[in-house]
Amino acid sequence: MPTNEKRILIVDDDDAIRGLLCTILSRRGFTVDTARNGIEALARLHTCTYAAMLLDLMMPMKSGYDVLDELKKSEAAQRPVVFVLTAGSSVRDLDPEVVAGSIRKPFDVEVLVDIVTACVTACAPQPQLPDCPPAESVEARVKPS
């Protein structure tokens, strides 16, 4: 795997949203990983370097808020650019040091993808962690849990 690969992590408990974003971003040439909850997201963040993360706030087991709290503890240079996804009408105060923006569901897919593409393209390449596994196949990522 190239050391300057720009990998994206999609974290959402909704299979349809994960699958849609994964398929579209993969077709745009990005390497995309997915997680169904905060526990899976944190595990992935410990094994791979991500340029960006799309993070649902309301999930079972560990919420997006919990993931953001963990990200605050890491060095800023090691964090992905985070866009939170939420269907809620109110969003608890989000730390601008950790969160680049908030996107309300339902969202315009093309606008969201354009924002992520622009952001990831502008990110400086970072070396991938040595134990980062190859990206999953699109089929594996979109199977319902």
pLDDT digits (tens, 9 = 90+) for 105-144: 888 888 988 988 888 888 777 778 888 887 764 444 444 4
CA distance to 40, 66, 103, 119, 124, per residue, from 12 (Å):
10, 13, 13, 20, 26
Q: Which CATH class is domain 7-130?
A: alpha beta
Closest CA to 85 of 111, 61, 123, 49: 111
Tokens 């190239």 belong to which residue? 2
Strand order of the β-sheet with 7-11 is 31-35, 7-11, 52-56, 81-86, 99-104
pTM of the model: 0.85
Domain boundaries, the chain: 7-130
Question: At CA 63, angle to CA 6 and CA 111, rounded to 5?
Answer: 45
Provide the pLDDT for residue 104: 86
For the chain, how big is the Rg over CA atoms in Å?
14
Q: How many Cα neighbours within 13 Å face the side chain of 118?
A: 7
Mark the ranges of the chain whose per-residue pLDDT is less than 70. 1-5, 89-92, 136-145
